[in-house]
Structure 1
């Protein structure tokens, strides 16, 4: 592959301050000839579109006058890009590693069966005091939405992210589809990304119950879409028991509401599940479970 092209894809909605910070941090990358950037404004009312248009004229801007959802935007950007590699980056995330594109490109060239790279991610409002790691690259089951890189050749062999998932679980959906197509997902710890989020504070936010509902139902959708039928009852029962034991029995009645509504969502979307199922064979399922789990939260070593 000669002179591969990269596209940085960012979806945003009413988070101008976060987006501005991120664009400032990745500005050196945007100046490279082989790099393009798309910002998709999903119905913002805080002046995002106008600000980016005026201050970052080289960025390709897209806009929904009325929000159509995060997944809609991601599908559209991925389906339209002509790049060899597409970097999906949240509006509140940026690279800490210098020369990340060189590292990413080298890994893809070295591993032609790698369809997607999951990057090392530090979650927190402040940058980590240490950034080095002893971790090595390895094949994993899945990836995190806030910072990953698609080999576009792989993306084009897959169905789109399911918009009916709404927010959670679409990466897991893609992970199973990659696996079924014999593409590998690799964790690449050489590239560190700072995701500027206070994870612990999320439970106290007003949308806690909604987030839990969407998280639970997406996991259950995935059971019925991809798991061998004989494994589903046990997996579903265990998932329910864990939520009840560690949340409801401890007085978290917002969680009880989320569980009930997630079960209703599961029933409501049964036709879509049946239509889109791509079930693993028992052997595929066993091999998949031998892979390392997705690397979501990285913490500096002592």
Structure 2
């Protein structure tokens, strides 16, 4: 008899100052569950896990960004790991479905979920773009279940633990915001498949108080840095030139400059077949 599906996935939640939102989402997570406290000072983690003996808390002395997920994955003892932030959670049955896919398809490193946003469960537009991607449909035995993809949204993703660790997880050059791109490229270069499966569902309830303009600048910064680390030089330079076209873009480019040396140390252009697939998706828009 095989291992029950609900024993195959650990959920890793990273939080930094999650406040009341962490308290609201924590009851929606099932065990095994690891909370990585990314240098919080608001006491929200203690309040959120009170009375739950099935939660392991890993406390970090400071905020290390997306790399905190690496800590959670390393601490997990299951073959698959689901990510969540303090404002996201998994729909009932979603983790079992993702675990079955990863168990039955040894070439799949990552299952990206359909995301429903806010109290109204609005479809995240990124998911529509994944489903309409020019890459091949992905089949799960009885028919098309989704689509091959070249990217993902971390808080709505289930990964194969050993593939994630061998790819190095998330990196401290990018730190946070858009951190998924480099990891996706490395998994694809290693021969893994990434799939978007609409019947695996995650919920995301981002709070409006968060600084969207600052995040946009981080996305520009990290897009440039990721291209510097993994893409051909014309792509990296093209992203830098494109950033000059707006004030926020220039701010993102300026923020990238202090990290360029660290990025160059990690430069390892992707395999040609991966670059071709990425170029196809980028032309598609």
Q: Would the TM-score normalized by the shorter structure come out above 0.5?
A: yes
1:23 counterpart residue number: 26
Q: How does 1:187-266 map to 2 (within 5 A)?
A: 187-197=196-206, 201=208, 207-241=211-245, 244=246, 256=247, 258-266=248-256
> Is 2:12 the partner of 1:12?
no
Which of 276, 281, 288 is matched with 2:266 structurally?
276
Could you tell me how far 1:85 is from its partner in structure 2? 0.4
User: Is the 2:189–2:271 contact (alpha carbons within 8 Å) kept by the matching residues of 1?
Assistant: no
Once residues 223 and 22 of structure 1 are traced to their aligned partners in structure 2, the CA distance between those partners, rounded to angstroms, is 34
User: Is the 2:243–2:249 contact (alpha carbons within 8 Å) kept by the matching residues of 1?
Assistant: no
Could you tell me how far 1:115 is from its partner in structure 2? 0.4
Shift in alpha-carbon separation, 1:264–1:239, aligned structure 2, 3 A: closer
User: Is the 2:186–2:270 contact (alpha carbons within 8 Å) kept by the matching residues of 1?
Assistant: no
1:286 counterpart residue number: 276
1:172 counterpart residue number: 181
1:61 counterpart residue number: 57
Aligned residue for 1:55, secondary structure, equals: coil
Once residues 44 and 144 of structure 1 are traced to their aligned partners in structure 2, the CA distance between those partners, rounded to angstroms, is 23
- Root mean square deviation, CA, Å: 2.6
Gaps in structure 1 of 5+ consecutive residues: 31-35, 245-255, 294-302
2:65 counterpart residue number: 70
Once residues 239 and 262 of structure 1 are traced to their aligned partners in structure 2, the CA distance between those partners, rounded to angstroms, is 7
Gaps in structure 2 of 5+ consecutive residues: 132-144
> Is 2:144 the partner of 1:141?
no
Q: TM-score, normalised by structure 2?
A: 0.81
> Is 2:69 the partner of 1:79?
no
Shift in alpha-carbon separation, 1:283–1:75, aligned structure 2, 3 A: closer
User: Is the 1:138–1:188 contact (alpha carbons within 8 Å) kept by the matching residues of 2?
Assistant: yes
Shift in alpha-carbon separation, 1:290–1:190, aligned structure 2, 3 A: same
> Is 2:11 the partner of 1:2?
no
Once residues 168 and 181 of structure 1 are traced to their aligned partners in structure 2, the CA distance between those partners, rounded to angstroms, is 23
User: Is the 2:185–2:274 contact (alpha carbons within 8 Å) kept by the matching residues of 1?
Assistant: no
User: Is the 2:10–2:76 contact (alpha carbons within 8 Å) kept by the matching residues of 1?
Assistant: yes
User: Is the 2:243–2:253 contact (alpha carbons within 8 Å) kept by the matching residues of 1?
Assistant: no
The aligned length equals 261
Could you tell me how far 1:21 is from its partner in structure 2? 1.8
2:161 counterpart residue number: 152
Shift in alpha-carbon separation, 1:164–1:53, aligned structure 2, 3 A: same
Could you tell me how far 1:147 is from its partner in structure 2? 1.4
Shift in alpha-carbon separation, 1:25–1:181, aligned structure 2, 3 A: same
1:33 counterpart residue number: none
Once residues 284 and 24 of structure 1 are traced to their aligned partners in structure 2, the CA distance between those partners, rounded to angstroms, is 39
Aligned residue for 2:86, secondary structure, equals: coil
Aligned residue for 1:83, secondary structure, equals: coil
User: Is the 1:140–1:292 contact (alpha carbons within 8 Å) kept by the matching residues of 2?
Assistant: no
